[in-house]
Structure 1
Amino acid sequence: MTAEAGAGRVSVLRMGDILIAAIQQELTDESALALQQDLTEMAAAGARGVVIEISGVEIVDSFLARVLSEIAAATNMLAGRTVVAGMRPSVAITLVEMGLGLRGLETARSLEDAMAVFREQAGR
């Protein structure tokens, strides 16, 4: 399943009960909000987790950090988890230097590692 396609929109793939959004370019504020809405609506329909793959993102500003945290909060309220995969070291350093936390988010080095988080959870 994919989110509504359009200029600047991020496709969302459903793999079982996990949603995967791979961000391949810098997002405008509008695109970030559209992604938040898409993921929240799709998570409410029964997903137990969300993976946001951001290896293609060079900059995470305070607005995008807030949107990612809000996605995690919404997913957590629906008994799910949110994992951000592929964050570049430079992005992580910048977030720390700016004092921006990503509350409610787990991180993984890659999409494969993020999916392993959910496989481990299912195995418990």
Structure 2
Amino acid sequence: MSKITRQGSNAILSGSVEYHNFVYLAGMTADDLSLDITGQTKQVLAKITAALESNGTDTTRLLSAQIWLKDIRDREAMNKCWVEWLGDAGRPARACVEANMADPRHLVEIMITACR
């Protein structure tokens, strides 16, 4: 049976799960909810970078991304941060939608799947 590795687990979820060299990250949100969409997006992307690195991968190995925005009108500002963060790395398959957030102060949540 193949090994499943989980990191950052609690009673509800794991921060990441690795299986057969695929890395699944939980949806990530900003810690500082006083920030605007640009600040929250940059904070989320930094958390994703750290989570990818702790799982032995990086932004060049992204497969898919799901992005939830509290207000879809923030898409342009979020995309500016996204493009800067990706640099010349390959682009993942991606969805970006408006959603009611668990905490109304959350402006963006991003979930990533990558490979090692």
TM-score by length of 2: 0.42
Which is richer in strand?
Answer: 2
Which is richer in helix?
Answer: 1
Q: Return the structure number with greater relative CO, CA threshold 8 A, min gap 6.
A: 2
